[in-house]
Structure 1
Amino acid sequence: MKLSLVLIVYRSESSIAQEASKFCEEVLKAKNINSNRIESDFHKDEIDKYLGNPELQPNIGIVLGGDGTFLKCANALADYDIPLLSINIGGNLGFLTQEKDFLFNKSFIEILENEEYTIDLRNRLNCNVCINGTSSERKIIKSYDALNDFYFKSVEEDISPTNQIQIEIDNEKVNEYKGDGLIISTTTGSTAYSMAAGGPIVHPCIDAMIINPICPMSLASRPIVIPNTSKVIIKPVKKSKGEIKLWRDGSKCMTIKETYHCEIKKGRSPCKIIKFKKSNNFYNTLIKKLDWKGDLSPKNPK
């Protein structure tokens, strides 16, 4: 990949990420590569300034932070069709990020220029919030995209009342989940909130959605994996106060009233994630991040 312009996005309110972004900028400058550097708490108008003109679009975006920083950038930048390289600076699990050594030993530029990487196309989810009515009367009042997941929880924050949520899959009523909430996850998000809630780990190359109840009151309410070509309808049940809160990728969206419903399906455009061939693969990442045992055979058998 020939680099001429790079967008650097660093985690807001992080001095470590800010210093890393300055270092990245200097490394690129030494290679005669131009760059623009912005904080992750950017406004859409600010992004349009850098990306609105196709002739001035960067070759890639480099995101410096943890998975949370990358999720925000992925949802904001995916529609611009720019590959994103995420480097873990101050993050925790880092399932979506590369090791910081690639930045500080300056090898990332050589890897990119020699094309020693792959570009993963990670499917996203789209959620349309609609007012109830017939299909001809359906009115979309808000639309969201998520790389990891959408989830539904109580509106009230001081207490945690039980929610009752009805779910339809491909126009068939499947279940009413009663519990703390419900997660609709991509396979990329299977190692995020869904995993913490007891959901299955699904390889990100598999085209699927995970529907995972949060602390259900019935043992019969189990996580299920469905094709990502499915259309999922979520409705709050009136007898449980009739309102639930919609979240996406860890951020609040809006309150879903009893007269609303959510239509969740595969997103229009995937997120392009740059993965270095020299970095850990999916299984090595699981071993490292989740402290699995890995290979137990003797390393130097006699």
Structure 2
Amino acid sequence: MELKQVIIAHKAGDPQSKIWAEKCAKQLEARQCKVLMGPSGFKDNPYPVFLASTTSNIDLAVVLGGDGTILAAARHLAAEGIPILAVNVGGHLGFLTEPFEWFQDTEQVWDRLFNDHYAVELRMMLEARLYEGKRLEPNPVSDHFYCLNEMCVKPASIDRMPTSFLEMEVDGEIVDQYQGDGLLVSTPTGSTCYTASANGPIIHPGMEAIAVTPICPLSLSSRPIVIPPGSLVNIWPLGDYELNTKLWTDGVLASSIWPGQWVGVRKADFNAKFIILRETYSFYQTIREKLQWAGTRIHYDNNHRQ
């Protein structure tokens, strides 16, 4: 990998993340690499400035933080084909990040990248747009929105907790109408996040599939469903006379949905690229550690595993 121009994003408000970002910047600049550095957080979005400030290729994004910081990077950088080295510095769960102990010897990390001693994991992403007009002749009325975890259609109100009424169709055919807290359209990556909390399926990230999961539906017959990656999911808000229904991408507000509009969700035309430093990376090990699986009340030794 060439490292001629690199983004370094650190978790806003986290001193440790900033210290490591500055250390990385000095080391890369000493290797004749141009560095674009800045904080990333709820009120800080450095990526549009980074992308607009250069006309040459960006070879890598080093993102230091937790899963929220990584999700923001993927939404903005995946479309540009920029690989992401995500490291858990100042984060909590760290589902999407490389463990910090694999990053502490940063000079060795740069050597590994220069010499192509790493792996690249591709993660499926989703895109969404708002439409209006005739169902068979939709007119897009918004920009593209992207997510690594999930698109969520649910209401939000300052003074109460409104119920949503949503109709979902897949490839033009009505599947169900949902009454409840909202609806999640998730990637395999997002299946271990909000979707898992809503009792949706956990899907291996090596697969390409879309999971649609109702959030607290007021019907025992409303169930999660896994559909092919080429499917088009349309979600129609029904009976929302107070304009509460909104589209959320990876937990961040994307847009309000006005009467007559609907949300179309499909697989994005690109994948997020993550640099893997671990030599024994395993999705199953990750969910065992992060979700604390294999934790029965009475522990038995498996003597058959010899």
Structure 2 length normalisation: TM-score?
0.89
Amino acid at match of 2:130: V
- Structure 2 match to 1:35: 35
The answer to whether the Cα contact below 8 Å between 1:66 and 1:97 also exists between their aligned partners in 2 is: yes
The answer to whether the Cα contact below 8 Å between 2:47 and 2:73 also exists between their aligned partners in 1 is: no
- Structure 2 match to 1:260: 261
- Structure 1 match to 2:114: 113
- Structure 2 match to 1:153: 154
- Structure 2 match to 1:48: 51
- Structure 2 match to 1:94: 94
Question: 1:211-290 maps to which residues of 2 (within 5 A)?
Answer: 211-238=212-239, 243-278=244-279, 280-290=281-291
1:62 Cα deviation after fit = 0.5
Q: Distance in 1 between matches of 2:294 and 2:78?
A: 35
Q: Which stretch of structure 1 is more off in the superposition, 117-126 or 152-161?
A: 152-161
RMSD (Å), alpha carbons: 2.4
Q: Distance in 1 between matches of 2:47 and 2:27?
A: 27
Question: 1:48-87 maps to which residues of 2 (within 5 A)?
Answer: 48-50=51-53, 52-53=54-55, 56-87=56-87
1:237 Cα deviation after fit = 1.1
Amino acid at match of 1:62: V
1:29 Cα deviation after fit = 3.9
1:279 Cα deviation after fit = 5.4
The C-alpha deviation readout for 1:21-43, integer Å capped at 9, x for no partner, is 01212333454544221222235
Q: Secondary structure at the match of 1:238?
A: coil
Figure out how many residues of one structure are paired with residues of the other and give that number: 298
The answer to whether the Cα contact below 8 Å between 1:209 and 1:227 also exists between their aligned partners in 2 is: yes
Q: Secondary structure at the match of 1:138?
A: strand
Unaligned runs of 5+ in 2: none
The C-alpha deviation readout for 1:33-76, integer Å capped at 9, x for no partner, is 442212222355512344x41xx323211001111011111111
Percent identity between the aligned chains? 33
1:279–1:96 CA distance, 2 compared to 1 (3 A)? farther
1:169–1:240 CA distance, 2 compared to 1 (3 A)? farther
Unaligned runs of 5+ in 1: none
1:243 Cα deviation after fit = 4.5
- Structure 1 match to 2:188: 187
The answer to whether the Cα contact below 8 Å between 2:131 and 2:138 also exists between their aligned partners in 1 is: no
Q: Secondary structure at the match of 1:247?
A: strand
Q: Distance in 1 between matches of 2:150 and 2:301?
A: 37
- Structure 1 match to 2:8: 8
Q: Which stretch of structure 1 is more off in the superposition, 118-127 or 136-145?
A: 136-145
Q: Secondary structure at the match of 1:62?
A: strand
Q: Secondary structure at the match of 2:184?
A: strand
The answer to whether the Cα contact below 8 Å between 1:9 and 1:63 also exists between their aligned partners in 2 is: yes
